[in-house]
């Protein structure tokens, strides 16, 4: 089927919403007070991490599949994806009985690979980046006569993503600003097309990873710019170039483009876990990260919507983010205490820590590799505390008891 090469308008996005219908969830978009200590505006969170297959990608993938002719459905489809589009396409292809092959970068988180296979797709791991996977998918498109369903650079995919914008217009009709993570630009193109058509005064802010800010570089250059790849925990938006179709839409409809680093993204993931009890992946947390990092100015009464566009994060990554976040906040600390190497020294030290209200998580001794007299031992304690002030209190108590102690990195 030959598809029209024209950007989606409001009517096309509305038809897409009717087309995908009940197969896509209308995810909640609720106002939260849990970040009022860091964000001055009235914050609403759009929980697309609760969507089928864990991200917004089901919208565009299904809309594009429903445009296939009977012959194309029989031939099958192919795509390249870092994970979320792959899962979405695999899920709906299986439901519609369409053969599906997905090419994923070798660096794709394991959970996304496993989920894509579990939905019934044939998965090939090729290349270190999305672009390497895309090149291989293009070769399969040509050699196998499969239909390429691009993750973002397809107007029918963009229309599907735009249905999210229609939901926002209904859920927060008086919104002032919408923050949208940007990788290839399909989501922000669709959301901006829908929102701006109804309420052109709404500010659309695109949020990129500081590691690969390809949209901002392209807008500044006035053309699509390809950047070098880089590692980032926001792997879902680590795209070296925006699409040829998404670029004009980003340039014309997005009011501002900002970037966030991995530390800000990790902090947003941890805060969403703690405060919203919600699991969000790096790309999905980028919009909240931009607000917490202060790279987007917000007025006290401004209604701001942050899209949490995905929740497919590896549990090992969550563990690392939690540990690093606790260390940064002072709630996890490592102390090195020097005591006499005698029976009972460890017991007295841990009792002292317990008396301050801290919790000892790990203990080990250093004798041979420490700069000590032969009668001393270094005891390394990893402790759980209430924060930096509590750590200082513990250090003071130990020093008052004559214990040499220092914080270790």
Q: Domains of the chain (ranges plus CATH)? A: 10-56+154-324 (3.40.50.1100), 61-148 (3.40.50.1100), 331-408 (3.30.70.260)
> Looking at the predicted structure, is the pLDDT value of residue 253 above 90?
yes
DSSP 3-state of 23: helix
pLDDT value for 330: 84
For 112, the enclosing helix (H) or strand (E) is helix 110-118
The CA distance from 401 to 404, in Å, is 9
pTM of the model: 0.88
Q: Report the alpha-carbon distance of residue 21 to residue 1 in Å, rounded.
A: 22
For the chain, state the CA radius of gyration. 25
Cβ atoms 76, 101 nearer than 8 A: yes
- CA 317 to CA 109: how far, in whole Å? 9
CA dihedral in degrees (310, 312, 314, 318; nearest 10)? Answer: 40
Give the residue, 373 or 93, on which the prediction is more confident. 93
SS3 356: coil
- Lookup: tokens for 197: 């058509």
The Cα–Cα gap between 137 and 89 comes to 14
pLDDT in tens, 56-97: 999 999 999 999 999 999 999 999 987 899 999 999 999 999
Would you call 365 helix, strand, or coil by DSSP? strand
Confidence class for position 231, pLDDT limits 50, 70, 90? confident
Integer distance in angstroms from the first to the last C-alpha of the chain?
A: 60
The first and second tokens of residue 33, run together, are 């007070």
State the average pLDDT over residues 110-132. 88
DSSP class per residue in 117-183: HHTT-EEEE-SSSHHHHHHHHHHHHHHH-PEE--SSS-HHHHHHHHHHHHHHHHHSTT--EEEEE-S
Largest CA distance in the chain: 82
pLDDT at 1 (0 to 100) = 46
User: What's the mean per-residue pLDDT of the chain?
Assistant: 92
- What span, in angstroms and rounded, lies between the C-alpha atoms of 388 and 392? 6
Give the C-alpha separation, 307 to 348, whole Å: 51
Mean pLDDT of the region 128-151: 91
Give the pLDDT confidence of 376-408 residue by residue, as tens digits. Answer: 888 899 999 999 999 999 999 999 988 989 888
pLDDT single digits (tens) 165-194: 999 999 999 999 999 999 999 999 999 999
State how far the alpha carbon of 12 is from the alpha carbons of 19, 163, 178, in Å: 10, 10, 21
């Amino acid at each position: 089927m030959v598809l029209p090469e024209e950007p989606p308008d409001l009517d096309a996005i509305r038809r897409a919403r009717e087309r995908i219908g009940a197969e896509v969830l209308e995810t909640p978009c609720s106002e939260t007070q849990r970040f009022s200590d860091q964000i001055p505006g009235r914050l609403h969170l759009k929980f697309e991490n609760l969507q089928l297959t864990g991200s917004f990608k089901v919208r565009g993938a299904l809309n594009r599949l429903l445009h296939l002719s009977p012959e194309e459905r029989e031939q099958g489809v192919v795509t390249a994806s870092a994970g979320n589009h792959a899962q979405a396409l695999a899920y709906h292809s299986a439901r519609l009985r369409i053969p599906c092959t997905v090419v994923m970068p070798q660096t794709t988180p394991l959970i996304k690979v496993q989920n894509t296979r579990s939905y019934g797709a044939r998965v090939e791991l090729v290349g270190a980046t999305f672009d390497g996977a895309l090149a291989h998918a293009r070769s399969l498109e040509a050699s196998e006569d499969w239909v390429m369903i691009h993750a973002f650079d397809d107007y029918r995919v963009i229309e599907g993503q735009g249905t999210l914008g229609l939901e926002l217009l209904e859920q927060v009709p008086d919104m002032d600003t919408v923050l949208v993570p940007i990788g290839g630009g399909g989501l922000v193109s669709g959301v901006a097309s829908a929102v701006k058509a109804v309420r052109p005064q709404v500010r659309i802010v695109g949020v990129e990873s500081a590691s690969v800010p390809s949209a901002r570089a392209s807008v500044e250059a006035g053309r699509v710019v390809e950047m070098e790849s880089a590692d980032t925990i926001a792997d879902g938006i680590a795209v070296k170039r925006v699409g040829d179709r998404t670029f004009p839409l980003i340039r014309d409809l997005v009011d501002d483009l900002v970037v966030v680093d991995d530390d800000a993204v990790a902090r947003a993931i941890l805060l969403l876990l703690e405060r919203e009890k919600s699991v969000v992946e790096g790309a999905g947390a980028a919009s909240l990260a931009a607000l917490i990092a202060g790279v987007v100015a917000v007025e006290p009464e401004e209604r701001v919507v942050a899209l949490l566009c995905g929740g497919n994060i590896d549990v090992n990554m969550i563990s690392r983010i939690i540990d690093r976040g606790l260390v940064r906040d002072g709630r996890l600390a490592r102390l090195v205490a020097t005591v006499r190497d005698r029976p009972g020294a460890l017991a007295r030290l841990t009792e002292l820590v317990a008396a301050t209200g801290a919790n000892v998580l790990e203990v080990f001794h250093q004798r041979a590799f420490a700069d000590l007299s032969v009668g001393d031992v270094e005891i390394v304690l990893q402790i759980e505390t209430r924060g930096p002030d509590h750590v200082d209190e513990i250090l003071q108590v130990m020093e008052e008891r004559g214990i040499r102690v220092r914080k270790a990195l």
